[in-house]
Amino acid sequence: MHSNIETKPESVALTKTVKRGGCAAKLPAGALSKILQSLKLTRPAPLLVGMEKFDDAALWDLGDGRLMVNTLDFFTPIVDDPVDFGRIAAANALSDVYAMGGSPALALTILAFPTAHLPLELVEPLMRGAVEKIEEAGAGLAGGHSIDDETLKLGFSVTGFVPATRAWTNANAQPGDLLILTKALGTGVLISATKEGKAEPEWINEATASMAQLNRVPELVGDLEIHAATDITGFGLAGHAMEMAVGSGVQIEINTDQLPILSGALESLRAGILNRAHKTNLEYTADKVEWSQLPAEWRWLALDAQTSGGLLLSVAPQDAEEVLRRVRAQFPRAATIGRVLKPSTQGGSALRFKAD
């Protein structure tokens, strides 16, 4: 018998139904990467990008000048409002296609729903929010799969397309490039602060609006020289920038004074509000990141697991000013946060954080 059969969908506080929300619920990156690297996989010839460099999505050569982009993403509730959760879940999944330079075309739903704890009517506002974002992206929802589970999880498998000459990966950053981040950081810690009842409403409103915004960056700058891109999600800015540096064979330097930050994020970190992902991301980046003498809250900010975070673009220096100008028309918090350097001849870190 359903324990809350009389509960109205709009009155359910979704974040109270799970221990971890959003991309902070990901498995630890370090342990997962070791497992995946042990697998012996057959590589079909048309598969141009798989999981060898932990890119955002797979690229499949269609043989006609186009590449197909395939990805999937799902997670537990990150906000209480079901419509907003649907919007964020869809925007987050669509982001991986944008991170490869592509345009989304088709989405399939992944839904785990706890019928013993939540009213089934809640599915309607969840999907209404998701469809809003999928259609805003110019894609269509074509079905999906659902199961009865102990905790609510929502996500999407997304297929998109990109001209082969305009595809982005996370593994082609070049020395001299400038790094542009399109959204402000801090969603992970703000979600934790919300669960602890320590977040101001205006903080959550700003974070929710940021997470629900589509990363429609390729259509703004696809004609300019973007050498590499990735979206900042569960492994934090540090983890994803590190993967870009390692995959590209370069060193990346990020200036923390230039980072865009969501309201309340630093205050929450200074108050000691952390989650499991902060520590697993620290372990994942431990031997490849140099932190200089940064205060603890800045280090935790760089390790903060983002949900539907921004794109990190590695841009040819002659195009960086124009890229930033165009991107800021849709993403006013976008900022140039660092640069790409030649790899150190003496080994050392792949990623370095500093403050002016």
pLDDT band at 25 (very low <50, low <70, confident <90, very high): low
Q: Does residue 6 register a pLDDT over 70?
A: no
What confidence score (pLDDT) does residue 1 get? 35
Of residues 35 and 253, the one with the higher pLDDT is: 253
Predicted local distance difference test score (pLDDT) of residue 125: 97
What are the CA-CA distances from residue 197 to residues 75, 216, 269, 289 (Å)?
A: 21, 33, 14, 33
Q: Is the pLDDT of residue 8 over 80?
A: no
> How does residue 34 score in pLDDT terms, banded at 50, 70 and 90?
confident
Q: Is 127 a catalytic residue?
A: no
Task: Give the start-to-end residue ranges of the domains of the chain.
Answer: 9-166, 178-354
Q: Does the pLDDT at position 24 exceed 80? A: no
Residue 4 clears pLDDT 50, i.e. is over it: no
- Is there a common fold for 9-166 and 178-354? no
Superfamily, domain 9-166: PurM-like, N-terminal domain (3.30.1330.10)
**Sign of CA pseudo-dihedral 178, 179, 182, 185:** negative
Determine the pLDDT at residue 267.
Answer: 97
**Given 23, 59, 122, 350, which residue is catalytic?**
23
pLDDT tens, position by position, 288-329: 999 988 999 999 999 999 999 999 999 999 999 999 999 999
Mean pLDDT score across all residues of the chain = 92
Least confident of 29-33, 60-64, 182-186: 29-33
Q: In this structure, what token pair is assigned to residue 225?
A: 């020289």
Cα(207)–Cα(15) distance, integer angstroms: 15
Cβ pair 270, 278 in contact under 8 A: no
Angle at 331 between CA 326 and CA 333, to 5 degrees: 115
pLDDT: which is higher, 7 or 279:
279
Residue-wise pLDDT tens digits, 142-169: 999 999 999 999 999 999 999 999 999 9
Amino acid 197 reads: G
Q: Average pLDDT in the 164-188 region?
A: 97
Is the domain defined by 178-354 classed in CATH 3.90.650.10? yes
**pLDDT value for 11:** 61
Give whole-number Cα distances, 82 to 165, 200, 342, in Å: 39, 20, 46
Looking at residues 211-216, what average pLDDT do you find? Answer: 98
Question: CA–CA separation, 241 vs 255, rounded Å?
Answer: 13
Does residue 94 have a pLDDT over 70? yes
Task: Compute the distance between CA of residue 237 and CA of residue 214 in angstroms, rounded to an integer.
Answer: 18
CA gap 96, 111 in Å, rounded: 19
pLDDT reading at 284 higher than 90: yes
| pLDDT for the residue numbered 356 | 82
DSSP for 310-336?
-EEEEE-HHHHHHHHHHHHTT-TT-EE
